[in-house]
Amino acid sequence: MLYQRSSQLFAEAEQVIPGGVNSPVRAFKAVGGTPLFAKSAKGAYLYDEDGNRLIDYINSWGPMILGHAFEPVVEAVIARAKSGTSFGMPTELETRIAKLAVSMVPDIDKIRFVNSGTEACMSAIRLARGFTGRDKIVKFAGCYHGHSDAFLIQAGSGAVTFGTPNSPGVTQGTAKDTLLAHYNDLSQVSDLIDHNKNEIAAIIIEPVAGNMGCVPPQKGFLQGLRKLCNDNGILLIFDEVMTGFRLAKGGAQELFGVRADIVAFGKVIGGGLPVGAFAARNEIMNYLAPVGPVYQAGTLSGNPLAMAAGLAMLEALDNDPSIYQRLEEKTAYLERGIREVLSAYDFPFTINRVGSMISVHFDAEPVVDFKSAAKGDNDRFRQFFHGLLQQGVYIAPSAYETWFITDALTYDDLDFTIKAIDKVAKTL
Ligand code: PMP
């Protein structure tokens, strides 16, 4: 496979964009080599600037749950663009997507749209602080909630890939209000609460972590957090930027039967356009401006193109609940296939999966938190990544990421991928 044109484009980009990219993980720094430049995509496939076709397991890092260039989304955006691309005034479209989202997600009354998952989580925290009158938050090591200051403390995803889980530029003042916990360790969270009585506004968590590979919550963990929050006047925030509208119509809340007080969304809710959102019951959402005192705003928030894309995506998911069953079956099939293939070799591996989120870790121990995720063999992952790329299979260029399965994948694509993994495993 040749990457000549991608290499040229990357060299050009590096002259005018830091690292040649507008989001660090895209740069292939963790795995080495030159990032591919996308030219187009359709369904399960990406086409790069050199004309290579790749089976895509990143899917724009989650949004393309029904495949690239999903027709209803594309048509909605084109139609909408012809009537104007931004007004700075409310539109009926915003109410329509809000109504639909509220109907799909358990126990939320109101939702506010923003432009990214980062904004959604940042605003959710501000709202929680305003609502409770408390300053501190608890986050889990290895969870990523976007790049706002309060969260860049032992963050996952690109923050760990690039060795700066605690970013310079985040002040000590901000860092001191972010308490760190270990994923799946309830007693440690309980200790943190005891040591910070009546000071913690919120616990924020990815209900299935997807930024240290895929790390599922152990049985009772989310329920335990819910109880600790109830007992201590703390708000539970689910960051469902990855899991929302992916694991079920109602996301992780529905899948695990645990309710959060505030839920943050991104990715799927925008159908591939820049959208984030946060939602809660009336009592909390009415704390937001212009009704309440907590300020939050956005020139392009609720942008008509973004809302048209999101609405078309949510309608497709709402109208055909069998999508979730299909995604479960396809991803389970892939998991079984990979497990069978890799079992024939003597290097250790662990596969984690919840619904259509899956990750392969090169370590024998269960991966249950950031510490265990970090034990994986990164050199082996690098070879695995490049081997698969050579075979035309595109997985995330870092061990600290989840693969996102799309409904556009056929069983032939999955079989091809499993065979490709076998070929690559021989070389590891
Ligand atoms: N939360 C989670 C769980 C995420 O995975 C991400 C991005 N991968 C974000 C928040 C931030 O979203 P965005 O990149 O849209 O700002």
Question: What's the ipTM?
Answer: 0.99
pLDDT of residue 165: 56
CATH architecture of 71-319: 3-Layer(aba) Sandwich (3.40)
Q: Do 4-69+321-426 and 71-319 agree at the fold level?
A: no
Q: How far is residue 231's CA from residue 233's CA, in Å, rounded to a whole number? A: 6
Nearest CA to ligand 1 atom 1: 145
pLDDT of residue 163: 46
Q: Which of 3, 57, 144, 394 is catalytic?
A: 144
Nearest atom, ligand 1, residue 61 CA: 8
Q: Which of 267, 287, 330, 363 is catalytic?
A: 267
Of 368, 337, 327, 406, which is closest to residue 214 (Cα–Cα)?
368
pTM: 0.97
Nearest atom, ligand 1, residue 240 CA: 3
- Is position 415 annotated as part of the catalytic site? no
- Is position 422 annotated as part of the catalytic site? no
Nearest atom, ligand 1, residue 117 CA: 12
Name the residue of 151, 245, 267, 269 to mutate for ligand 1: max ligand atoms within 8 A of Cβ: 267
Name the residue of 64, 121, 147 to mutate for ligand 1: max ligand atoms within 8 A of Cβ: 121
Domain residue spans in the chain? 4-69+321-426, 71-319
Q: Is 116 in the pocket of ligand 1 (CB under 6 A)?
A: yes
- What CATH number should be reported for the domain whose range is 4-69+321-426? 3.90.1150.10
The model's pLDDT over 354-393, given as tens digits with 9 standing for 90+, comes to: 999 999 999 999 999 999 999 999 999 999 999 999 999 9
Regions of the chain where pLDDT drops below 50: 163
pLDDT of residue 153: 80
